[in-house]
Amino acid sequence: MTTFRPCILKCPDCKNMMYTYELTSYYVHSSVVYSDGKIDCNPPRSWDKSILICSECNKPMWRDDVLLEAENLNISYDELPEAKDVHDLLFTFNDDFSTKVAEYYADLLENGFANTVKREVYLRVELWRLLNNKERYKPTSILNDLLKGNIKEVLNRRKSKKESVTENNSSGNIYRDNLKKMISIFKPVNEEQQMLLAEMHRELGNFSKALNLLNEIEDVENKFAFKRILSAIKRKQSKVIKIN
């Protein structure tokens, strides 16, 4: 059973009052876990609302910084607009939504929006996973579409492939730069985070460093994930993989 708790917010820039919902509990029937830590659940989990966007001035804000104590306010939620999130941005319905949100997060980082190391790590992990979605949810092969008779899909894909060369180069630069900066500030405190750090190096192609990090883990709890990442390192694979 999924339950939500309403919260009242106040924009630090324009002082606009808003509300949002906080996920308090949910039930998962099944899930798929990836090597970068992303988890796809069934039913899907709600989008993380750590970062919200003011409904009035459209400026981003950290939810924890703008929460108000509702019990001290004589305000009804029905009187307030709902705070926005990245799903309300103009590019929401674009095919390259994940890439656009990643670029949005990269701009936030560039402009100093992450005012603590913890928040910088959070944003960089989100950016990393968003850019991995292109590989994670890779479309079916052209041969498969031809066998199914999807000629239009093949033609559209060939056209979009030509149009996306520059975009791919740009997102690739953001991807590599983000991982390098994240590695410089990420300090693992347990074996799960140590595996995540090894995964960052693996996806950058630093296979020797990734292997050394895995070898430093003395007590492996998630043996299946460990073996999957280790196998990918030994085969010099740098793409995100499923680990369950």
**pLDDT tens per residue across all 244 residues of the chain:** 556 678 899 999 999 999 998 766 666 678 899 999 999 987 666 667 899 999 999 999 999 999 987 655 677 777 899 999 988 887 666 678 888 999 999 999 999 999 999 999 999 999 999 999 999 988 755 555 445 555 554 455 454 454 454 556 668 899 999 999 999 999 999 999 999 999 999 999 999 999 999 999 988 888 999 999 999 999 999 999 999 8
What is d(CA 27, CA 32) in angstroms, rounded to the nearest whole number? Answer: 15
- Check residue 92 and give its pLDDT: 64
- Check residue 217 and give its pLDDT: 93
pTM of the model: 0.83
- Check residue 145 and give its pLDDT: 46
Q: C-alpha angle with apex 43: 39 to 45, nearest 5 degrees?
A: 55
Nearest one of 39, 155, 54, 61 to 108, comparing CA atoms? 61
Provide the 10 A C-beta neighbour count for residue 198.
27
- Check residue 24 and give its pLDDT: 64
Q: Which residues contact 55 (CB under 8 A, 6 or more apart)?
A: 16, 18, 81, 82, 83, 84
- Check residue 25 and give its pLDDT: 62
Q: Which contacts (CB < 8 Å, 24+ apart) does range 166-170 have?
A: 167/96, 167/99
Distances (CA, A) of 171 to 9, 94, 95, 101: 33, 16, 15, 11
* 194 in Cβ contact with 216 (< 8 Å): yes
- Check residue 48 and give its pLDDT: 77
